[in-house]
Amino acid sequence: MGIMWRAHDLRLRRDVAVKEIQPPFRADGADLEEARRRALREARSAGRLSHPAVISVHDLLEENGRLWIVMELLEALTLEETVGHLGHLPIHWTAWIGFQLLSGLRHAHGAGVLHRDINPGNILLTGDRVVLSDFGIAALGGDPAMSTTVPIGCAPAYVAPERLRGGRADPATDLWSFGASLYFAVEGRPPYPGSDTLTVLGRAMSGEPDPPVKAGPLRRVLEGLLRRDPAERLSAGRAARMLSEILRLEGVTVAPPSLPGQRFPPGAFTR
């Protein structure tokens, strides 16, 4: 979907990440209009949010038919990469990651933004932050882009069952994907394993996820988030309370993160 560049903002004197949007190719060439819509959607969705658990977007540029999104630069591994290195994460790590990420997700939902593609590859882990990135298929409330179609790039193991059946995206579908990502973190595998996409799709459409075996007290949270009926799924508030209680029992004290003020680098307004 894009190429990431490390860059330096000369005006504000800070390093940034620049994402060059790659247009999809059709039979008659590159679809620049679709690339423009996707870039605008990503910039508008993430740009209206201000939370330490959500990637910060600074600007959207277009030059000579090429589209660029300027965002904060993070030195991070994805959750997918981290689990790939370690096999699976301990319960208290997973609960802490979930608690921080859920705070950002609740902020996004409160601002009318649905992510629609939460998966371990879009969750960034820095030294002290958990950050949700890649709002490329996000949708704003009331946006006609909120169709029932699941984009090709989505990993089926992390898409809510009702979405796979043609249902519309809503906060409950994001929560299912969030739960599936936590399942992957603590179990070391997706809730619907399979060697190919068709096998995963078949299991996701008709069956329940395999019961978690390494989750311990997280099992109730995972099973509540991965309920096939969205009306019975855990709410974000209830999931946050359960995660905070697990962390308390594990000896980890957490508080809801506060919204950061805008910080400019030293010397930003001097020559």
d(CA 99, CA 227): 19
Q: What was the pLDDT predicted at 268?
A: 40
Read off the pLDDT of each residue in 119-136 and give the average, rounded to a whole number. 90
Q: What letters, b where the CB count within 10 A reaches 16 and e where it falls short, cover 223-237?
A: bbbbbbebeebbebe
Tell me which of 56-60, 112-116, 164-168, 206-210 is least confident: 206-210
CATH annotation of 2-72 = 3.30.200.20
Tell me which of 43-47, 74-78, 84-88 is least confident: 43-47
3-class DSSP state of 112 = coil
Q: Is the pLDDT of residue 138 over 70?
A: no
Which of 59, 117, 128, 196 is the catalytic position? 117
Is 196 tagged catalytic? no
pLDDT in tens, 193-239: 765 666 667 666 777 888 999 999 999 999 999 999 999 999 999 99
Helical ranges in the chain per DSSP H: 32-47, 79-86, 91-110, 161-164, 171-187, 197-206, 219-225, 236-249
Percent of the chain predicted with pLDDT > 90: 45
Tell which residue, 12, 56, 73, has the closest CA to residue 264.
12
d(CA 46, CA 56): 7
Q: Which residue has the higher pLDDT, 211 or 141?
A: 211
**Structure tokens that stand for 67 in this block:** 């589209």
Q: Is the pLDDT of residue 127 over 70?
A: yes
Task: Please tell me the pTM assigned to this model.
Answer: 0.83
Task: State the DSSP H helix or E strand holding residue 21, giving kind and residue range, or none if neither.
Answer: strand 14-21
What's 77-249's CATH class? mainly alpha
pLDDT in tens, 150-202: 454 567 789 898 888 888 889 999 999 999 999 999 999 998 876 566 666 76
From the number of C-beta atoms within 10 Å of its C-beta (0-12, 13-18, 19+), residue 8 rates as: exposed
Q: Is the pLDDT of residue 270 over 50?
A: no
What are the sequence ranges of the domains in the chain? 2-72, 77-249
Q: How far is CA 155 from CA 101, 172, 189, in A?
A: 19, 17, 13
Q: Is the pLDDT of residue 52 over 80?
A: yes
Q: What was the pLDDT predicted at 264?
A: 41
Q: Is the pLDDT of residue 261 over 50?
A: no
User: Cβ(79)–Cβ(125) under 8 Å?
Assistant: yes
Q: Which residue has the higher pLDDT, 261 or 156?
A: 156
